[in-house]
Amino acid sequence: MAKQYKIAIIGAGINGLYLAWKLAEQGHQVVLFEKKPNPFGKICSGLISARIKNFVPLDEKVVLNRIEKCFINYPRKRVELAMAPLHFVVDRDHLNQILWDSGRRAGVQYLFDHEISQLPDKDFDRIVLCNGGVSKLGERPEMVTQSFYLGLQFFEEKKDYKNHVETWAHESGFFWKIPRGSNVEWGVLGASLGLINKFRGFCKEKLIVFPEDKIQSAIIPQGLRIIGCDKVATCGDAAGLCKPWSGGGVIWGLTAADMLIRNIDNLAQYEKEAREFFTPLVFKGEIARKAASFVGFNTPFLMPSKVRRDNDFPIL
């Protein structure tokens, strides 16, 4: 019989809820800590590839719209990117509800409104950090060089069921428009300095009302910080598992979560496996992002008008 552990999971985003559910299903005693009163209202875009179905059973309430392509707008070039695989616009709160209910049935103990300021290493055999990219828990010296991008978003009350998203490149990132069916998500990703003013200017140009009181923000880590040693492991944003070209991290986080589940007896092996898998993706993704930006702004005639690309695990 496999060894059973008492496991603390810190953070009730998608990765934390998924890990809690799956580890409890294996017979481990799982306690999930979340500083907020519930797992809902997390600030994150709802655009996720159809690979989410490989991890979570979806129902008709989760998928708000289906996206087949993305238009990337440079000042003098418009590129049509075919989304491979198909992407879903999901209701993140309903997705979290599915994960929460699945974990509850599996026996997860949820402790909401419970902030953890130091590792509870005396009370648990394993501690998994899923508490975001700016967490200092379990930090190691080599992590101090990690950088961050800022994401801003708001929702326009306007019905839109188009099958494509629009993005507009700027110096350090991009603006986006995601049709969510009953509303539209507008956002920007990039270096934090002056980003809010860039967003204001973009909205003015697009004749969109910029709702100062409804802007939401999130910190997006750049660079891996995967830990797997002694009792402690990181996953999701806490492990820096965000795609360099888009900032999205759900599929990467869930992929790493499955690696962690397989290696719950040997966290060092989890770190080794995850780093070997994701390091080339991050390195090549950074090169591709910078190259695309340079070509798009400086020599747009070299940029193809149509591209098909796996947006989770591209072959570069």
Strand partners, 89: 47, 65
Q: Please state, in angstroms and rounded to a whole number, the distance separating the CA atoms of residues 136 and 144.
A: 10
Q: What is the pLDDT of residue 46?
A: 86
pLDDT above 90 as % of the chain: 81
In a domain? residue 217? no
pLDDT tens for each residue of 64-93: 999 999 999 999 999 999 998 999 999 999
What's the average model confidence in pLDDT over 45-66? Answer: 92
- Structure tokens, 259: 């690696």
Residue 244 falls inside a structural domain = yes
* CATH number of domain containing 253: 3.50.50.60
At residue 316, the pLDDT reads: 55
Query: Does residue 114 carry a pLDDT above 80?
Result: yes
Mean pLDDT confidence for 272-297: 95
The answer to whether the beta carbons of residues 88 and 67 sit under 8 Å apart is: yes
270: CB partners within 8 A, 6+ apart: 228, 233, 259, 260, 262, 263, 264
203 Cβ contact list (under 8 Å, min separation 6): 186, 209, 210
> Which domain range does residue 256 map to?
1-39+54-64+92-145+224-292
pTM of the prediction? 0.94
Question: What's the CA gap between 212 and 219, in Å, rounded?
Answer: 18
Helix and strand element counts for the chain (H, E): 5, 15
Q: pLDDT tens digits for 189-231?
A: 999 999 999 999 999 999 999 999 999 998 888 889 999 988 9
Residues 234-262 have a mean pLDDT of: 95
How far the first Cα of the chain sits from its last, in Å, is 42
| Cα 163 to Cα 82: distance, rounded to the nearest angstrom | 11
Q: Is 268 part of a structural domain of the chain?
A: yes
pLDDT of residue 38 exceeding 90:
no
Lowest mean pLDDT among 15-29, 41-55, 149-163, 294-308: 41-55
Please check whether residue 231 lies inside any domain of the structure: yes
Q: Mean of the per-residue pLDDT values for the chain?
A: 92
134 within some domain: yes
Mean pLDDT, to the nearest integer, of 126-143?
Answer: 75
In a domain, 99, yes or no: yes
Q: How many CB atoms lie within 10 A of CB 19?
A: 31
Looking at the domain assignment, is residue 284 inside a domain?
A: yes
Number of domains the chain is built from? 1
Structure tokens at 225: 């910080």
Instruction: Give the range among 49-63, 132-146, 214-228 with minimum mean pLDDT.
Output: 132-146
CA angle, 128 as apex, 234 and 123 as ends, to 5°? 145
Residue 6 falls inside a structural domain? yes
